[in-house]
Amino acid sequence: MTLTPEGLEHTPTLDTIIEGITCRIAERSDRGRPADYIPELARADLSRFGIAVATADGRLVTGGDRDMGFSLQSISKVFTLTLALGQVGDALWRRVGREPSGNPFNSIVQLEYEQGRPRNPFINAGAIAVTDAILSGHQPREALGAILRFIRFVSDDDGITINEDVARSEKENGFRNIALANYMRSFGILENPVDYVLGVYFHHCAIEMNCRQLAMAGRYLAFGGRHTPGGARVVSAERARRINALMLTCGHYDGSGDFAFHVGLPGKSGVGGGILAIVPGKASIAVWSPGLDANGNSWLGAAALEQLAKEMRWSVFGD
C-alpha cells in the first residue's frame, strides 16, 4: 500500500504485474519475425510468450509459456564468458575486447579493421574466441561437457540438454561463422582447429532451456556472484558486476543503446527469442518470444521487459 493525497492506494505486486504483462503481450498483433537461417528456428510459433522472475527472497514468479523450451543461442555466451574467465582470468581480454560493436552480431568487416580481435565477447567472433579459450587443453566433448555442467549447476537443473538437430543445422548453415573463425585463426586469435572450436560453439548455442530454468541460471549475476543472496558463491562479486556491465553495453549488439534506453537493465538476447535480464541485487529475469526485431533481438521480449522495469522501477538508471 502507498499513501497518496487521495488516501491509501494499492501497490501492485510482482505477481499482478507479471499477470498484466502476459495478458497485454497476448493481445499484441505486432510479433516480429522468427530467425530464418535454420529451419528449426524459422518454424517457431510467434504466438508464444513466456516470462519468469527469480527474486532475492527466493521466489520464482512466472507467466505464459514459462515451461516451453527454446534455443538459448547467444544467451549461452553469458555462461561461456563466465566459464572462460574462471579458466583463464583476465588473460581472456588479450584476445577479446570490451567495447560495444555498433555492428550486427555476425559482422565480418569490423574484424578486418581490427586485425582479427573481436570487439566484445558477445558478437559471434568474440564468442567463438571465448569458446576457443575454454577448449584449449581439452577435447571438444570435455569442453562442451564443462559448459553444460556449468549451466545445469547455476540453474539447479540437471534436465537441461542440447538440441542436436539445431546444432547440426547451425553447422550446415554456419558459413559466416566459419569465415569469422578462419579469419581469426589467421591472426592467431584462435589456438585450436577451427572445426573443433565451431563444433563446441554450435552445440552451446543449441542448448535448450525454458524461462524458469534461465531465470534461475541468471541468479549469480543478480546476487553479487552468489546463487542466492548470502548463498553459495559461483563467481566473485567483481566478476558478476563486470559481466553485467558487458551485458548492458554489448548484450543486444547494435540494439544495445536502445535496450538501455527503453529497459535500463543488463540483458543478453538470443535469436531463439530469449532474453536474460539482470536487476542487480533484486532479480534475474528470463523472457521468451520468438519474433525478432531487425537487430535479431526478441521484439515482444524487450517490450515485456520495458513494461516490467517501468512498473517495478527496476531500471539501473533510477526511477
Interface residues toward ligand DON, by CB under 6 A: 73-74, 105-106, 124, 170, 177, 205, 269-271, 296-297
Is 37 a catalytic site residue? no
113 is catalytic: no
CA angle 110, 112, 117 (to 5 degrees): 80
Contact assessment for residue 161 and residue 71, using Cβ atoms and an 8 Å cutoff: no
Q: How far apart are CA 48 and CA 66, in angstroms?
A: 10
Q: Which is nearer to ligand DON, 74 or 192 (CB)?
A: 74
CB of residue 292 to ligand DON, shortest distance in Å: 7
Identify which of residues 250 and 271 has a Cβ nearer to ligand DON in the complex: 271
Residue placing its CB nearer to ligand DON in the complex, 55 or 192: 192
**Measured from the CB atom, is 194 or 234 closer to ligand DON?**
194
For the bound state, the minimum distance from the C-beta of residue 72 to ligand DON, rounded and expressed in Å, comes to 8
- Active-site residue flag, 201: yes
**Which triple of cell numbers denotes residue 17?**
504485474
Which residue has 566459464 as its cell numbers? Answer: 83
CB count in 10 Å sphere of residue 266? 27
Candidates 61, 71, 76, 77; catalytic one: 77
Catalytic, out of 53, 61, 74, 107: 74
What's the rounded Cα separation, in Å, for the pair 134 and 86?
A: 9
Helix (H) or strand (E) holding 60: strand 60-64
Smallest distance, Å, CB 236 to ligand DON?
27
Query: What is the 8-class DSSP label of residue 11?
Result: P
Nearest CA-CA partner of 83 in 22, 17, 21, 148: 148
CA distances 319 to 20, 21, 167, 201, 312, Å, are 20, 19, 42, 39, 9
- Residue 36 or 156 with smaller CB distance to ligand DON: 36
* Least gap, CB of 290 to ligand DON (angstroms): 12
Instruction: Tell me the three state secondary structure of residue 225.
Output: coil
Least distance from ligand DON to the Cβ atom of residue 179, Å: 12
Q: For residue 288, what are the β-bridge partners?
A: 50, 274
Q: Give me the catalytic one of 53, 166, 220, 253.
A: 253
Active site (annotated) includes residue 183 = no
Question: Which C-beta is closer to ligand DON: that of 52 or that of 250?
Answer: 250
Residue of 76, 96, 171, 201 marked active site: 201
Measured from the CB of residue 241, what is the shortest distance to ligand DON in angstroms?
A: 23
Annotated active-site residue 271? The verdict is yes
- Helix, strand, or coil (residue 205): helix
What residue number has its CB nearest to ligand DON? 74
The answer for residues whose C-beta is within 8 angstroms of residue 127's C-beta and 6 or more apart is: 74, 77, 80, 81, 121, 201
Q: Which residues have a catalytic role annotated?
A: 74, 77, 201, 253, 271
